[in-house]
Amino acid sequence: MATRPLATRDVPVAISTRVARPTVFSDYWALTKPEVNFLIVITAFAGFYLARAAGWRDFPFGLSINALLGTLLVASGTGTLNQYRERDFDAQMRRTARRPLAAGRLKPASVLWFGIALSVFGTVYLAVAVNVLASLLAMATLLSYLFFYTPLKRKTPLCTLVGAFPGAMPPLIGWAAASGTLNFKALTLYAVLFLWQFPHFMAIAWMYREDYARAGYQVLPPGPSMRARLVHLQTMLPLLALVPLSLLPGWTGEAEFYSIAASLLGAGFLYYAAQFVIRRSNSDARRLLATSIIYLPVLFVVMVLARVWYDGALDQMRVQFHE
């Protein structure tokens, strides 16, 4: 007769619960906000690739890895230091109360030095392994996020506007890493990410409005009418600008599928935003949030694929011409 292994026989529930608790490694990993870093990697790489004119054939893979690694280090340091600064307020919100520092699983001093180490090393790494412009842009992102956006969240709903400036920096860092300069095309990518943040954050702010109010954050006005007006403005107006703007990067590669994909993505984003603005329910906010999380990486991936296709077509033309 088969028996269960000793490790699984009559194990008290309390023991299995203790095993399931987060480890120190997972807590430090959570401090870096990996879900945010996923979008940062995609948008920074898109900026890097689109800044190159040579395509895959002469693509500097080593430089791109250095650029993404340095950007990730600074972004992780920024997320960590932000949680250090907001630890007391995070503890008052259901959404953030289980974060490692807010829950008391990590010591504030340890988190502070971890964030500083990531930020300093990432900034220096970008300067040495990539270029000074990329490093300066990353440093500006960190400082403006921590010392302008973070404190303004407790003072004015305009914090979303202020926070959108550093939040849109990843494609610029990628572009600067690849080319050492910035131009109108780079600023177009910046503007796309800048505008995307408004409907994305309005969905979050609406879903957790009671949490934010409990912790003293002023991300939405207190009055119902003013709150509704701000949600309308910061959801629909940026989107109405974002959809046509997203069609401009046709220069990234004259591929017809980019325009089609960008149009479809924009139409879906607008639809769910309109549903949210009309009904202002938590379920509509949740759908808008999910749509925004899908929209951004897919749009930037399609931009890169369009350029890959265009570069491949150019390479074929060059080969045929030389033949």
Q: What is the pLDDT of residues 253-306, one digit of tens each?
A: 556 788 899 999 999 999 999 999 999 999 999 999 999 999 999 999 999 988
Q: What is the pLDDT of residue 250?
A: 62
Q: What is the pLDDT of residues 182-196, one digit of tens each?
A: 999 999 999 999 999
Look up the CATH number of domain 22-322.
1.10.600
Q: What is the mean pLDDT of residues 305-322?
A: 60
On whether the CB atoms of residues 36 and 52 are closer than 8 A, the answer is: no
The yes-or-no verdict on residue 18 having pLDDT over 50 is no
Q: What is the pLDDT of residue 22?
A: 81
**Residue of 227 and 29 predicted with greater confidence:** 29
Q: What is the mean pLDDT of residues 174-182?
A: 96
Q: How far is CA 113 from CA 78, 81, 106, 110, 275, in A?
A: 12, 9, 12, 5, 44
The yes-or-no verdict on residue 2 having pLDDT over 50 is no
Q: What is the pLDDT of residues 55-66, one digit of tens each?
A: 567 789 999 999
Mean pLDDT for the chain? Answer: 88
Residues belonging to the chain: 323
Q: Which two tokens stand for residue 203?
A: 């969905």
- 201 vs 289: CA distance, rounded Å: 8
- 231 vs 277: CA distance, rounded Å: 7
Q: What is the pLDDT of residue 254?
A: 55
For the chain, the domains span: 22-322
CA 42, distance to chain mean position in Å, is: 9
- Cβ partners under 8 Å of residue 205, min gap 6: 160, 212, 219, 220, 231
Q: What is the pLDDT of residue 1?
A: 39
Nearest alpha-carbon partner for 297 in 27, 14, 1, 45: 45
Q: State percent of the chain over pLDDT 70.
A: 86
**Residue of 104 and 249 predicted with greater confidence:** 104
* pTM of the predicted protein model: 0.89
Q: What is the pLDDT of residues 68-105, one digit of tens each?
A: 999 999 999 999 999 999 999 999 999 899 999 999 99
Residue type, 68: L
Q: At what angle do helices 282-322 and 184-207 cross, to 10 degrees?
A: 160
On whether the CB atoms of residues 72 and 122 are closer than 8 A, the answer is: yes
Nearest alpha-carbon partner for 200 in 265, 289, 284: 289
Which of the four pLDDT bands, split at 50, 70 and 90, describes residue 175? very high
Per the listing, tokens 């709150």 go with: 227
Q: At what angle do helices 24-31 and 108-129 cross, to 10 degrees?
A: 60
257, 262, 265, 270 alpha-carbon torsion, rounded to 10°: -150
**Residue of 46 and 221 predicted with greater confidence:** 46
